[in-house]
Amino acid sequence: MSGIHIDTTGLHVAKIDKYGPAYTKKSVINTVAAEVESINGSYITRGTKTMTIDMQKATHTLTDAERMFARAIDSYQAQTAALAASAKKCSGDVRQAANDLASGLSKVEKTANFANLERYVNLLERAAAAMQMLAELEKSGKLDKIAGALK
């Protein structure tokens, strides 16, 4: 394209290259100054309207994201509270079971009277050995002879 022409913004295009139109600094300054001085600054007004709509969309998106984030935090806090309550209950149950076990062992110790239990075990071992000897005597046939002699 040869020469300088005016595009839709009112700026004078100095040249067009592979990146698009290029403007002179003076042209940009003059156009912006004229737009600011104008009561009906159409370009800035249109840009502001577009920006307002974009800002409202962004605000709406951020509000939605904030609500979603708040719901997620509420859910995580509820889960945390439930886990804490469950852990507290489990801890109490373990403590109760330990106390019950200690109480049960104490009762067994009192009932069994371990001092006498050792004596009972020794007596049972001696009785088991005697029964084994009697069984061997019966196998060999000597038990009947001993019983007959005692009568």
Beta-sheet strand order (sheet of 12-17) = 5-6, 12-17, 20-23
Per domain, the residue ranges of the chain are: 1-37, 40-112, 114-149
Q: pLDDT tens digits for the chain (151 residues)?
A: 445 544 555 677 888 899 888 888 888 888 777 777 776 666 666 666 677 888 889 999 999 999 999 999 999 999 999 999 999 998 888 999 899 898 988 887 777 777 777 888 888 999 999 899 888 888 888 877 887 777 7
What is residue 13's three-state secondary structure?
strand
Provide the token pair at 110: 């009192």
pLDDT computed for residue 1 by the predictor: 45
